[in-house]
Chain A
Amino acid sequence: MTRRILSLWLPALAMDRWRLAHEDEGDTQPRVLISDTAHGPRIEAANRAGAMAGARRGMMLADARTLCPALLTAPADPAGDLAFLEQLAVWAMRWGPWSAMDPPDGLLVDVTAVPHLFGGEGGLLDDVHAAFARRKLALRSAIAPTAGSAWACAHYGRARTIVDGSQNDDAIRRALSDLPVAALRLDEDVLTVLRRLGIKRIGQLDAIEEEGTGRDAIQRRFRNRKSPAANPLIRLDQLLGRIPEPLLPVVPQQAPLVQRRLMEPIRHRTLLDTVLDDLALDMARELEGKALGARRLELGLWRVDGEVIVRRLEMAAATRDPAHICRLFAARLDDVDAGFGIEMLRLRASWAEPLALAQGDIETAAEAHGTSLSACIDRLTVRLGAEAVARPVPFASHIPERAQRWHPPLEPEPSSQGLLEFHHRALKLLDKAEKIAVLYATPDGYPKRFRWRGTVREVARVEGPERIAPEWWRERGSARLRDYYRIEDGAGCRYWIYRQGLIGDGRGGMPDWYLQGLCG
């Protein structure tokens, strides 16, 4: 199901606020809101009569006065406008589960799966307009699948536009193609550049982009512009929903938090452990109430002398088991310097994942018997560090040492192509292939004898070569090919060695030999 975003734009927010605050004075006189700048007062907003008289936003007051000497002024209040907008964003959550501010004068409300409660999207817009009319606020609105397209339609489209985006982005394209490029929410200087290029409507930009090489041309021109507001391609992609556009909800998600203030500062470890037990129990109850499990926990210790010690813990799987949490923290609290004592402790789950309530005693025997894998991994990572515990995963590469990567142990395995197992691979791979001296029949004969770690070994049996060409798309052109041999020496030790390069391949002198792996 596609997202549905409702964009609300209050075109005269500042003026409307002033009018609501001064209803007794009436609104028939031409009036402007001004702010002081280095070059004198400047007009921030004008009412209808003021606009009729020629006052515009951004004009200097002195210029407007020459057109209309009877212009009345009032100070602008941007901070008050912002606070009002925040209130309005909270109020607008009556139409959707979350809303975001779009400063200076807009709101975005997520109305996905909501409109049927108001009798369809048209009914929803009617309700919105009626509510804002009751509050005497001017409003333009639109509903679209992405925040960018809803914003564009609200600001530059027809009143109460509803863009249908259930199939693909063609509907968005059609609805937006006639809008000016300013609807992309771009900076002034970028708009100037686009105007000089002759691109005035979104449809023109879209058409250029459709022509295959056009996107490259635009990309080249704006290659240094990383911010979305300065790069029309990013804005266009956001508009069409090709890349996500994160929005900051006005009511943030609260991280579960428990804390204990202590009557007497504690200085001893046993007491600290007791308080930590209590905190972990509280946290377990808090998380259970929200059906969450903690992935990251932060324990803050407030010391009497003003120092704050913070210990962080990351879990391999969501958990709210107080005993497990206490045990993991116990290893992290060994080096805490209590100083003159700790007076407050706070435990915060800064990353939590949904964890449904589970029946506790369905597998009593299994639970009594050993720990679970995630608990085991947690204990290992807490003591040895996150880097020390890893799982080998395949990676698409021909070069043996590159064909394996190390990932965190409980992450799902990345998808990979099946391997064609024509050749044997070594059981163990050395971190760095070790250089060996080899006696062999030049230019590319079998190895006869080699010296590794100070001992000379005769090669009794050999299989090869398996030629692995360098990956030219990753390495420099001077990289040499490798001829791999699987060998067994007189005592039966089996190794995996390779010769790097050929004589006369023009990429260096005599080829070197390396021992890379130990076979079983």
Chain B
Amino acid sequence: MPTEPRSDTATCQTAPLDVADIGCMVGAAALGRERSSHWRPGLAGKGQAAPCHSEIFAPSGDGSGAAAALALALDDWRHTPRPEGAEAEDRRAVLWVQMREAARLVGRPYRPGLPEDVRRRVIHVLADTPEDALFALEEGVRCREIAFVIGEMLGNPRALDFTASRRLTLAAERHGVPLYLVRLDARPDLSSARMRWNVASAPSPEARWNPQAPGTPAWHAELFRARGHRPGEWVLGDGGRQLLAKSLPSAERESEKSSVFSA
């Protein structure tokens, strides 16, 4: 991951950021009042409810969409405080809904490649039509024994209009089951999703033992619409048990411009 000094003058230090500094950054950011409206990993545990409906726009030519959605979902899931009186071990399932064309283009989840926590939980649903996929997503977010729902839909189907997305948002918020909808090769049309991301693969950081090998996955993620957060750009990285995020300098500038439209 290239390390660049952050051109942030508003609150605190200008420091080169890398994987080791993330925790420090998060701590410092938590202090800054202005930046508390910025998204950062692990936000679900800091008094804010996890966003119940996120949309992730990604190209269908690589696996970045589903991987980033899974990373965001796991980040929220690990940081969400368990309610009082819940079972010691969370055994809830994960529902993974794919439209058939999406599964043909980007493949189906492969158990040995999934994160360790998710392997035993995945329940996969293959839907032929967008209507069926929406039905499955809604049934998923209504179910109390599901930790989170991941959907993968291709393009802009007519069935997925504003009403449908509003319906999903309300159901997800009512039952507290987060939904991460990956939109492959889609235009950002009208939607009531609480967070909308643009995701693409980013060059991975250098692998530990073999500099020639691809390292842990990294994604370039742009939060372009969010309720309660400023838009911004990050390079997200998979840090094993946690999600790493490195803010990009352009993010600040962009956010200044578009903060008027957010929320």
Contact = CB atoms under 8 A, between A and B. Distances in A.
Interface string A496-520: 0000000000000000000001111
B136 A380 contact: yes
B203 A460 contact: yes
Interface residues of A, number: 55
B18 interface: no
Given A380-B125, A391-B122, A373 B143 contact: yes
B204 to A, nearest CB: 6
Interface stretch (A163-171, A217-225, A239-247, A425-433): A425-433
A371 B111 contact: no
A431 B126 CA distance: 13
Contacts of A491: 200-201, 203
Interface in B102-150: 103-104, 106-114, 120, 122-128, 132, 135-136, 139-140, 142-146
B231 to A, nearest CB: 22
A149 to B, nearest CB: 44
A463 B213 CA distance: 5
B63 A461 contact: no
Contacts of A494: 62-63, 201, 204, 214, 217
Contacts of A390: 123-124, 126
Nearest to B59: A493
B62 A427 contact: no
Nearest to B126: A388
A389 B124 contact: yes
A371 B108 contact: no
Interface residues of B, number: 55
Contacts of B201: 491-494
Contacts of B212: 461-463
B164 interface: no
B238 interface: yes
Contacts of A383: 132, 135
Interface in A354-398: 366, 369-373, 375-377, 379-380, 383-384, 387-394
25 contacts: A369-B144, A373-B145, A373-B146, A376-B139, A376-B142, A383-B132, A384-B128, A391-B124, A392-B109, A392-B111, A392-B122, A404-B111, A406-B124, A427-B63, A427-B109, A428-B113, A429-B113, A453-B61, A462-B212, A462-B213, A462-B214, A488-B204, A492-B201, A492-B202, A518-B106
Interface of B: 61-64, 66-68, 70-71, 93, 103-104, 106-114, 120, 122-128, 132, 135-136, 139-140, 142-146, 175, 177, 200-204, 207, 210, 212-214, 217-218, 220, 238
